Amino acid sequence: MAVERVGVSFEPELLEGFDALIRRKRYPSRSEAIRDLVRRSLIESSVEESEGEVLGTLTYIYNHHEGDVNNRLIELQHDHHHEILFTTHVHMDHDMCLEVLIVRGPAVKVRGLADNIRAIKGVKHGELVITRTAF
């Protein structure tokens, strides 16, 4: 099977954590671990591609000192006030915050909100968990 090489850059702390995960999960190499993560992400993406109304949570962690993250998050939340039912904010430490949004609405809008938030510089991790509202 043919393979293509790609380069990936990691901050030292992130790479250290990733290497620890590789050891715990007993991956034979970084490449296999990255391939597995990409496969899992592709599978999850196909599940999330259902249309119609969805209900779920968007949880994300961010450094509130980094860039214009606070203003960008508030602006996005206001742009999506129809999809956001509830928000909560937790101060993890002096720099890091965790927010959880309860969301409901058209799948395309909910996924768009999640993608836009995760793409903001300063947002370190974000996860959208959704389910359909009708079965």
Verify that 114 and 71 share a domain, yes or no. Answer: yes
Task: Indicate whether 111 belongs to any domain.
Answer: yes
Its domain, for residue 21, covers: 12-47
Same domain, 118 and 68: yes
Does 4 fall in a domain? no
Q: Are residues 73 and 35 in the same domain?
A: no
19 within a domain of the structure (yes/no): yes
Report d(CA 100, CA 90) in Å as an integer.
Answer: 9
Q: Please tell me whether residues 64 and 92 are part of one structural domain.
A: yes
CA distance 120 to 99: 14
Do 38 and 57 belong to one domain? no
Per the structure, the count of domains in the chain is 2
In a domain, 5, yes or no: no
Q: Are 83 and 113 in contact (CB under 8 A)?
A: yes
Q: Are 122 and 73 members of one domain?
A: yes
Give the pTM: 0.66
Which band of pLDDT confidence, cut at 50, 70 and 90, is reported for residue 58?
very high
Between residues 83 and 130, the one the model is more confident about: 83
Render pLDDT for 77-90 as a digit per residue (tens, 0 to 9).
Answer: 999 999 999 999 99
- Cα–Cα distance, 51 to 36 (Å, whole number): 26
Tell me: pLDDT of 21 over 70: yes
Residue range 99-116, pLDDT digits in tens:
999 999 988 899 999 999
CB-count burial class (<10 Å; 0-12, 13-18, 19+) for 30: middle
Split at pLDDT 50, 70, 90, the class of 132 is: confident
One domain for residues 57 and 120: yes
If asked whether residues 36 and 66 sit together in one domain, one would say no
Query: Mean pLDDT score of the chain, rounded to an integer?
Result: 90
Together in a domain, 68 and 38: no
In the chain, what percentage of residues exceed pLDDT 70?
93
